[in-house]
């Protein structure tokens, strides 16, 4: 038996673009999240990215879709828990120039060494080398582009 057999898959950190698509009711992205969850892939939901998605969509339906993400078996909410994390977030903002929502995604991904799941790979390409560790990301391909 190899070392990787039976090991849990690495979580994906959902970024603002992915959460906005969910808040807007994008069935393809919602199905992807459910499929990943069904495969045992943990999904990390940074609270500031959830905030940005809610601000973008501004509806009760959108907020219900975002709240529903927490119901997935492998969903984990990533808060800004204390002063130490707030200061670390400030450092990420200072080093990357990202807004607080995206910087929170980057901080969570950096701290957990997990890839970012995104519809906006150019943003993460631009900032991949801004922190001590390389930020990894997984692009969600748009089926309309194929």
Mean pLDDT within 2-26: 86
Residue 133, Cα to own-chain centre: how many angstroms?
17
Q: Is residue 67 part of a domain?
A: yes
Q: Is residue 146 part of a domain?
A: no
Rg, C-alpha atoms of the chain: 15
pLDDT in tens, 71-128: 999 999 999 999 999 999 999 999 999 999 999 999 999 999 999 999 999 999 999 9
Q: Is residue 23 part of a domain?
A: yes
The total of structural domains in the chain comes to 1
Residue 14, Cα to own-chain centre: how many angstroms?
2
pLDDT in tens, 35-73: 999 999 999 999 999 999 999 999 999 999 999 999 999
Q: Is residue 145 part of a domain?
A: no
pLDDT of 2 above 60: no
**Which structural domain, as residue segments, surrounds residue 131?**
12-140
Question: What residues have CB less than 8 Å from 120, skipping those under 6 apart?
Answer: 15, 16, 17
Q: Is residue 41 part of a domain?
A: yes
> Would you state the structure tokens that stand for residue 104, as one six-digit string?
């929170």
- CATH number of the domain at 81, please: 3.40.50.1010
């Amino acid at each position: 038996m190899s070392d990787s057999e039976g090991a849990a898959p690495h979580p994906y950190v959902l970024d603002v673009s992915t959460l906005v698509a969910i808040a807007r009711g994008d069935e393809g992205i919602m199905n992807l999240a459910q499929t990943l969850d069904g495969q045992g892939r943990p999904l990390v939901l940074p609270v500031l990215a959830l905030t940005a998605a809610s601000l973008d969509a501004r509806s009760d339906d959108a907020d219900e879709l975002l709240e529903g993400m927490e119901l997935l078996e492998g969903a984990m909410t990533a808060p800004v828990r204390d002063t130490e994390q707030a200061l670390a977030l400030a450092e990420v903002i200072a080093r990357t120039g990202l807004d607080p929502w995206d910087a929170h995604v980057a901080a969570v991904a950096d701290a957990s060494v997990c890839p970012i799941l995104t519809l906006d790979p150019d943003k993460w390409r631009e900032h991949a080398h801004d922190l001590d560790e390389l930020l990894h990301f997984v692009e969600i391909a748009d089926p309309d582009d194929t």
